[in-house]
Structure 1
Amino acid sequence: MFEKIKCFILDMDGTSYLGNELFSFTKDFLKKVEETGREYYFFTNNSSKSQQDYIEKLERFGIRIKSQQMMTSTHVISRYLKQHYEGKSVYVVGTPSLIQEFQYFGINVTEEDPDIVVLGFDTTLTYEKLSKACHFIRNGCTYFGINPDWNCPIEGGAFIPDCGSMAKLIEASTGRFPEFFGKPSKHTLDYIIQQTGYEPDEIAIVGDRLYTDIAVADQSDVTSILVLSGESTREDVKTSDVKPNVILEDLSEITKML
């Protein structure tokens, strides 16, 4: 099944770990990937933290990676803004880590009179930030969202509202809904292919969400693997328009097949 696969793109929360708890099978999987001459990268839609935040989190789990192995949805939109909106000012609805990440990439972040509004997964969201964003959007600013996730999984099987839910709130006020750049956007798929250097049929994307992790590979030659260690269930697959190429319980089943 995986003979042609040379690169695994791994979701994080719900696939590699849950909250602050690493799954017991994750390290064995990563070791087997390396032993078989393959590569792995992590990709998270969660835009509330920076690349370095995630690298440090993995280090706390005993997983040490190169910076290029840690991909985020923020990287995807940052590259797009640099390519298509160089020099334009951006009002970011996001955490301090997210704002610092944009500044690191040389994005012109501003609090007043922006050209563009970017909505991230803001766990520090305030009414003031929400009100300002709606005002700018209502008055014609270009409007983008980073990741379309409705919920973010946390320990104990619970969820908290994510960027997609925040976008619905803004839509109710302004009538506008953003173009998103994280999974399942084609922007993300193009980014993954370019950054890894592999052909689409040499890449497997592994994740626990049908509408992001699996949908990003839809209508492409990239292999999609749904693991049932996070959000989606087999019942969800039955009612979904998006179907994975493979359904497995968790990463340990891939380890046995490599």
Structure 2
Amino acid sequence: MTTPPSTAVETLRRARAWVLDVDGCLMRTARAGGAGGEAMPGAGSLLTALRRAGHSVVVCTNASQRPPREYAAHLRGKGIDVADEDFVTAGSAAAEYIAAHHAGARVLVVGDDGVREPLLRLGFDPVKPGGPELGDVVVVGAAAGYTAELLNAACLAVDAGAPLYTTVETPWFHGGLAKSVAVSATIAHAIGWATGTRPHVLGKPSASLAETLLRRLPAEPDEIAVVGDATAEIGLARAMGATSALVLSGATTPEKLATLHGAHRPDVVLRDVAELYDLLSESLPTT
């Protein structure tokens, strides 16, 4: 069991808003967004206790293939009571960012409903590949497959000046069971290679996601804690000005932790979310 410094524990106990990772943190899974996985011990109890205490909670994943409502429903089925509106994917965060920065743009989605549905909900009508008009914005999310026509349309749009966004940049996914390639990052960099453009990341650990989450959470940065199993959550916490809590139940091993220094090292290290729940349970007020 880890032994966090007392000052770090007190910092966590002062938090009133939380960003909680899914894969390797709340869920043990081999597929992004908790799909097909099982809840980590203490995950459901932690969310219930935070909600009863009146804290704000966002469950945030870099998954982007399916809409937030589908991932949230799966977690609820595993005993983790998260509302659809409190579940943020890299796909839905990308849609929010595009709405804030490219209102009225013609958006070409290189992905699945995980990006397309949030854009539709925000009033966008994504363009179809092969049509007479190029997209003003190209955004890449996860999908089971990508057609040559779609990739060509994306490359033509970016080559003509459209910004290229990707939901994630990390090459690998790790949810506590096994790793697999992050297909959206791979596709985005392929488009970037063809067009001489570097994709702009809208998921973890980007400043763009930090901006989106800070708009959502009714708390000052020093009242927010970001909890996850990877360096992506540490980077996100730094971008938000929040406290970083790393759990050793997923992508980060004790050996990898030992290589993290300075701003790349988390503020608090915990065995898992069950340990976090134990640390917080006595101090959480009930409403």
State the TM-score, normalizing by the size of structure 2. Answer: 0.81
Name 2:257's counterpart in structure 1. 237
Matches within 5 A, 1:4-153: 4-19=14-29, 20-34=37-51, 36-111=53-128, 112=131, 113-153=134-174
**8 Å contact from structure 1 (residues 204, 223) kept in 2:** yes
| Alignment gaps of 5+ in structure 1 | none
Letter in 2 for 1:244: P
**8 Å contact from structure 1 (residues 88, 108) kept in 2:** no
CA drift of 1:245 comes to: 0.7
Matches within 5 A, 1:80-229: 80-111=97-128, 112=131, 113-153=134-174, 156-210=177-231, 212-218=232-238, 221-229=241-249
**How many angstroms apart in 1 are the aligned matches of 2:241 and 2:174?**
29
CA drift of 1:81 comes to: 2.1
SS state of the match for residue 176, structure 1? coil
**How many angstroms apart in 1 are the aligned matches of 2:53 and 2:135?**
49
**8 Å contact from structure 2 (residues 24, 251) kept in 1:** yes
Give the count of matched residue pairs.
257
**8 Å contact from structure 1 (residues 154, 160) kept in 2:** no
Distance 1:209 1:61, change over 3 A: same
CA drift of 1:256 comes to: 1.4
Letter in 2 for 1:137: V
Percentage of matched positions with identical amino acids: 27
SS state of the match for residue 57, structure 2? strand
Aligned-residue RMSD, C-alpha? 2.2
CA drift of 1:98 comes to: 2.6
SS state of the match for residue 50, structure 2? helix
Distance 1:37 1:116, change over 3 A: closer
**8 Å contact from structure 2 (residues 210, 240) kept in 1:** no
